[in-house]
Chain A
Amino acid sequence: MEEKLKAIVERIELSKLSDEDKAELYATISEGLQATVWPVLLKYMPKEELEFLSADPKSRVTVESYAKLIEDTIKDGEALKEIEGLMNEVLSEVDKALAEENV
């Protein structure tokens, strides 16, 4: 995925797009990548832990409990695999769109 992303950036940098268009493309790609994260995290987030914390956030939510919630969500690696898969899809779509437009 890293290589794919770097290749896309290089491709955009070498293109004849205006600086403004390049910046907007980067922002769009960045947003697209980020958009894959929360849906997957939610899918793998321990439901009981989430409900426990949200039932009384003022007294239960701390730096520690928040860190643990996210850690418990990603610790078996499944969420990350899924996020990586989705990000790869996103980058493939980016690549395809750029190719179709001769960027």
Chain B
Amino acid sequence: MFNKTMAETGGVVFEGVGMPKEGALAKLKRFFHERYTSSGVVEKQMRNVEKISGELTQDQREQAMKKLQERVGWSIGRNVAHDAVITAASGVLIYKGVKSERFQNVLRAGSERWRTMAAAGGVAGWVEKQRSGIASVVDKSKNWVATKIVRDSTFKKAVEAPFDQGGTVREVAKKVGKKIVENTPPHRSS
């Protein structure tokens, strides 16, 4: 959503772990990583958007997107691109276009995570946390868990962690008993 790459955020990544798994997943992660890096997001504009969206509460952002949907005649679940815009601008994952319970569950988990974070300090606060402290988090057996702690549905404990006082990824990882390792880009490790 707010595209910050590991490279852009100071390369705080994990060491000696490699991509989480070989195969399709690793390829996709690499592809997305490269795409984010070359996406050319204009920093100043993005900061302005963060200021604006951060001024509204989660409920207000959702209200705004409901207004937008009414005006332009969109309804959720009918068009992937429409849903993606509403999702990005509201900060809530509401995609309903695919009839897969599993996919729905993943997306629903993302939505709840967003709500948790929004309640904890708003979108702007979350972006600041990402900017200052994005990291990859690994569990004790060195399995990759998340690079974007807020949005990774596999990192369920993070969702359950007490976010009410905010905190950096490092602090959150500590709370949920995960280890953060730094300084080696994931795509270069074995």
The A-contacting residues of B in range 55-101, CB under 8 angstroms, are 55-56, 60-61, 63-65, 67-68, 71-72, 79-82, 84-85, 87-89, 93, 95, 97-100
- At the interface, is chain A mostly helix, strand, loop or mixed? helix
B45 lies within 8 A of A50 (CB):
yes
**C-alpha spacing A59/B163, complex, angstroms:** 28
- Chain A, residues 64-103, CB within 8 Å of chain B (1/0): the string is 1011011100110001100110010010011001101101
Please, which residue of chain A has its CB at the minimum distance from the CB of B27? A97
Using Cβ atoms and an 8 Å threshold, which residues of chain A touch B25? Answer: 21, 24-25, 28
Nearest CB in chain B: distance from A76 CB, A: 11
Nearest CB in chain A: distance from B121 CB, A: 16
**C-alpha spacing A30/B45, complex, angstroms:** 24
Nearest CB in chain B: distance from A88 CB, A: 10
**C-alpha spacing A25/B103, complex, angstroms:** 10
Our pick among B1, B53, B56 for the contact of A37 (Cβ within 8 Å) is B1
Sorted nearest first, the 7 A-B pairs with minimum C-beta distance are A54-B48, A61-B55, A67-B64, A37-B88, A101-B24, A97-B27, A67-B67
- 16 A-B pairs within 8 Å (CB atoms) are namely A5-B98, A23-B105, A24-B20, A24-B153, A25-B25, A28-B28, A38-B49, A51-B48, A54-B52, A57-B51, A57-B54, A66-B61, A67-B68, A70-B68, A71-B71, A84-B81
Interface residues of A (CB under 8 A from B): 1-2, 5-6, 9-10, 13, 19-39, 41-42, 45, 47, 50-51, 53-54, 57-58, 61, 63-64, 66-67, 69-71, 74-75, 79-80, 83-84, 87, 90, 93-94, 97-98, 100-101, 103
Interface residues of B (CB under 8 A from A): 1-3, 20-21, 23-25, 27-29, 31-32, 35-36, 39-42, 45-49, 51-56, 60-61, 63-65, 67-68, 71-72, 79-82, 84-85, 87-89, 93, 95, 97-100, 102-103, 105-107, 110, 148, 151-154
